[in-house]
């Protein structure tokens, strides 16, 4: 699937037909997308879908087989050093220098970055990495603490673009909330975040736009709100007396009547549905919020069904 690309002038990341093959393995296939300045872009897919390949191509670790990509207006194949100078990157399952302290790791990586660590103190405070914790050797850190160091090293120099590969992996729920709040603040400050994850709830919580990838193919590229607006919702209605027949109501499916209660799936827009059922006999109405998970599963189910049909 191709979404219509926006103007590349405002795109912090722009790919056009980006393709990466490892021999017979097609890790990325004809990927075209744009990430606009100041947005949090969620890149969704299960393990092996091509998320890390995409990120590594953007950073110049991999060379595209076909197509092109620019980051901050710079070509990924010819200007990767310049791109990395203006980018913060958190690799998935980051490996650190066990023999150094947390503070030394941050200083060393920032020295190599060559920019002042203007956000380090704030990040350490928000992610609860106290000076005493930072003085300890990384080898003594828990997985969550390592992940926090990973997040801090990626953002400490206040990059224009942060590329974060599964950033909340290993963080406890409190730290996840702190991280989400941090993302909100970065967006407010005009920073761009490219965010890879397979945790749908967090993508739904913080992302503006989302791309869903499967086996290297782009399955969807939409704003989260648009994606959710078209999703199925479970609805439950309770009536005074016996329930009316709603099976003919447009946009409603899987209608099950249980006495005074009706359970169904709403496919269309909510406002029209509410108008259609408005009645003094209606005692209770519950509409479950649409979930990205359902959208995600739907894209995957659809793809699997088509593969089965082809097979």
Partner 1 sequence: MNLRLFVQTLRWQRIRLLAVGLAAFGWGALIPTIYVGFSDAFREMVDSGFLPEELLSFGSGNFFSVPGALTLGLQHPLAIAFVGIFAIGATVGAVAGERERGRLEVLLARPISRRELYSTLMTAAVLLVGLIVAALLVGQIAGLALQGLIDEVQLGWMPLVFLNGLLLWSAFAAFGMAASVSFDRHQPALGVTMAFVLLNYFLEILGSLWRDVQWSQNYSLFHYFQPGEILAGKADPYDFALLGLAIAIPVIYALAVFPRRDLAAPS
Interface residue list for partner 1 (CB under 8 A): 22, 52-53, 56, 59, 61-63, 80-82, 84-85, 87-89, 91-97, 99, 108-109, 111-114, 153-154
Complex with partner 1: residue 32 or 87, whichever CB lies closer: 87
Q: Which two tokens stand for residue 246?
A: 């709603």
Least separation in angstroms between residue 232's CB and partner 1 is 35
DSSP letters for 233-265: EEEEEEESSSPP--TTSTTEEEEEEETTEEEEE
Least separation in angstroms between residue 88's CB and partner 1 is 8
Complex with partner 1: residue 114 or 241, whichever CB lies closer: 114
Least separation in angstroms between residue 93's CB and partner 1 is 7
* DSSP three-state, residue 65: coil
Least separation in angstroms between residue 129's CB and partner 1 is 17
Least separation in angstroms between residue 84's CB and partner 1 is 5
Complex with partner 1: residue 61 or 180, whichever CB lies closer: 61
Complex with partner 1: residue 153 or 168, whichever CB lies closer: 153
How far apart are the C-alpha atoms of 91 and 164, rounded to whole Å?
A: 7
- Which are the contacts of 13, defined by CB distance < 8 A and separation ≥ 6? 33, 34, 35, 41, 58, 69, 70, 71, 161, 192, 194
Residue 63's closest CA among 74, 72, 75? Answer: 75
Q: Are 91 and 134 in contact (CB under 8 A)?
A: no
How far apart are the C-alpha atoms of 303 and 311, rounded to whole Å?
A: 12
**Beta bridge partner(s), residue 263:** 236, 256
Least separation in angstroms between residue 230's CB and partner 1 is 33
Phi, psi of 185 (to 5 degrees): -70, -35
Least separation in angstroms between residue 173's CB and partner 1 is 26
Complex with partner 1: residue 27 or 243, whichever CB lies closer: 27
* DSSP three-state, residue 125: helix
Distances (CA, A) of 154 to 50, 161, 290: 21, 10, 32
First-residue to last-residue Cα distance in the chain = 20
Complex with partner 1: residue 70 or 153, whichever CB lies closer: 153
Least separation in angstroms between residue 44's CB and partner 1 is 18
Complex with partner 1: residue 17 or 91, whichever CB lies closer: 91
Least separation in angstroms between residue 53's CB and partner 1 is 8
How far apart are the C-alpha atoms of 246 and 253, rounded to whole Å?
A: 9
**Beta bridge partner(s), residue 31:** 18
How far apart are the C-alpha atoms of 175 and 52, rounded to whole Å?
A: 24
**Beta bridge partner(s), residue 32:** none
Complex with partner 1: residue 148 or 233, whichever CB lies closer: 148
Complex with partner 1: residue 80 or 168, whichever CB lies closer: 80
Residue 263's closest CA among 287, 298, 282? Answer: 287
């Amino acid at each position: 699937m191709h979404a219509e690309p926006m103007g590349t002038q405002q795109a912090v990341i722009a790919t056009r037909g980006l393709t990466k093959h490892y021999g017979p393995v097609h890790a990325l296939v004809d990927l075209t997308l744009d990430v606009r300045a100041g947005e949090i872009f969620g890149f969704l897919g299960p393990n092996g879908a091509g998320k890390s390949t995409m990120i590594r191509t953007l950073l110049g670790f991999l060379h595209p087989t076909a197509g092109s990509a620019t980051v901050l207006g710079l070509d990924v194949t010819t200007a990767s050093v310049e791109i990395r100078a203006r980018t913060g990157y958190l690799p998935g399952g980051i490996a650190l220098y066990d023999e150094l302290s947390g503070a030394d790791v941050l200083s060393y990586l920032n020295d190599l970055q060559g920019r002042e660590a203007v956000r380090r103190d704030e990040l350490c405070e928000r992610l609860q990495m106290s000076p005493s914790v930072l003085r300890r050797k990384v080898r003594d850190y828990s997985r969550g603490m390592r992940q926090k160091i990973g997040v801090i090293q990626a953002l400490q120099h206040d990059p224009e673009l942060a590329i974060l590969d599964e950033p909340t992996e290993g963080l406890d729920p409190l730290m996840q909330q702190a991280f989400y709040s941090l993302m909100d603040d970065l967006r407010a400050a005009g920073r761009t975040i490219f965010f890879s994850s397979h945790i749908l709830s967090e993508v739904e919580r913080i992302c503006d736009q989302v791309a869903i990838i499967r086996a290297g193919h782009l399955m969807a590229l939409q704003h989260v709100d648009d994606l959710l607006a078209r999703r199925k919702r479970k609805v439950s209605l309770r009536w005074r007396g016996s329930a009316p027949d709603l099976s003919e109501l447009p946009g409603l499916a899987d209608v099950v009547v249980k006495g005074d209660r009706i359970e169904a799936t709403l496919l269309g827009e909510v406002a029209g549905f509410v108008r259609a059922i408005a009645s003094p006999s209606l005692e209770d109405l519950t509409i479950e919020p649409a979930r990205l998970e359902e959208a995600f599963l739907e894209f995957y189910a659809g793809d699997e069904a088509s593969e089965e049909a082809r097979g």
